[in-house]
Amino acid sequence: MDNVRADGLEQRTTLREMITALGGHLVDVVIAPKGLAVGVRDVVVADPYDDPALRPGDVVLVVGARGADARPLLVQAGARGAAAVVVKGGVTLKEAARDAGVALLTVDADARWDQVQTLLRSGLATAEPVPLPNETGDLFALAQTIATLTGGSVSIEDVGSRVLAYSAVAGEVDDLRLRSILGRRGPERYLALLREWGVYDELRNPDHVVTVPDHPELGIRRRLAIGLHAGGRQLGSIWVQEGGRSLADAAAEVLIGAARLAAQDVVAQAHGATSRGSRSRLLADGLTGRVPGALVAADLGLPAGPALLVACDIRDQPGDGEPAGAA
């Protein structure tokens, strides 16, 4: 398994964001003594019979041990500030995880660890990042909409190439997208190439879609990009990476319309909007049992006691055979 660390990166997201980015797949939360807002930095594989170099924010995959045999590594992970420990058959470790102060996640007994690592890192790469000042959930929703309409993987950046928002993975992700998301900014050597190719010069033109051809030798897939403009000033750009399949025929038209919306959202960031999308997904996870209900309630600031859900259907017109006002 590839266990290369992303050195030099600080906290990228939270345990909550990484779990919800997986869309209801892979892991179940047994216990999270410190809640789901703990910072996540990396996903690493650890052998309980070695002395792994664990760091704060690591999500630790315990390979080669189950049940009580994984206890020593779980305790060590908690002592070193790991965000979570992932095991197979880990329900018996619930009390140990509580005492160690580390979240305990479980995966199916038949799951392959290499696939678990790949999917968790994918979840980390596509999770909503820890909110920074002036970030807004509207941009994430827009990025996902663009991805759906174009069939590609989308990122929205500011004029300094800092990643503001991005969509979930759509098809295969190239090295440039992965590094941009993990580092919150495109790698300088790639940015230098884009400048050399004149891409940034073209992005200064409003409503102009730029095509960046694929460069397999550089690990770069084909992209479409467009600048974000408001009041005669460039605010950023939208990038759509092509995956295993070609982008939709109307992808360029989608980008032109999306750029106008995104520019409005970037301007609106000054008003301090915050993302709520991940919390909605977390609530859904609680309702389906993937995450303990009490933990969801605590994380969302909701009362953990009994609750009553009331739903109303307000219709403009009564149904067939119903008197007015019956609805």
Domain-wise residue ranges, the chain = 13-126, 137-271
Q: Answer whether residue 209 shows pLDDT above 50.
A: yes
For residue 224, pLDDT beyond 90: yes
In this prediction, residue 296 carries a pLDDT of 65
For the domain covering 137-271, report its CATH number. Answer: 3.30.450.40
Q: Which residue has the higher pLDDT, 21 or 109?
A: 109
What average pLDDT does range 43-67 have in this prediction?
84
pLDDT digits (tens, 9 = 90+) for 139-150: 888 888 888 889
As to burial, measured by CB atoms within 10 angstroms (0-12 exposed, 13-18 middle, 19+ buried), residue 307 is exposed
pLDDT greater at residue 66 or residue 291: 66
Going by pLDDT thresholds of 50, 70 and 90, the confidence category of residue 6 is: very low
More confident residue, 175 or 237: 237
Classify 35 as helix, strand or coil. Answer: coil
Give the separation between CA 292 and CA 30, rounded to whole angstroms: 7
Q: Which of 66-75, 138-147, 243-252 has the lowest mean pLDDT?
A: 138-147
Name the residue with higher pLDDT: 113 or 77: 77
H-helix segments, the chain: 15-21, 71-79, 94-100, 113-126, 137-150, 175-183, 188-196, 199-203, 251-268, 277-288, 293-300
Q: What percent of the chain has pLDDT over 90?
A: 19
203 contacts 226 by C-beta, under 8 angstroms: yes
Residue 242 CA to residue 267 CA, distance in Å, equals: 28
Q: How far apart are the first and last CA of the chain?
A: 59
Interval 8-26: pLDDT, tens: 345 567 888 777 766 555 6
Q: Check whether 316 has a pLDDT greater than 50.
A: yes
What is the C-alpha separation between 246 and 150, in angstroms, rounded? 9
For the residues 124-153, what does the mean pLDDT come to?
A: 68
Write down the mean pLDDT value for the chain: 75
Does 280 have pLDDT greater than 70? Answer: no
Mean pLDDT of 215-224: 84
Q: Do domains 13-126 and 137-271 have the same CATH topology?
A: no
Is domain 13-126 annotated with CATH 3.30.390.50?
no
Residue range 278-303: average pLDDT? Answer: 63
Burial of 322 (0-12, 13-18, 19+ CB in 10 A): exposed
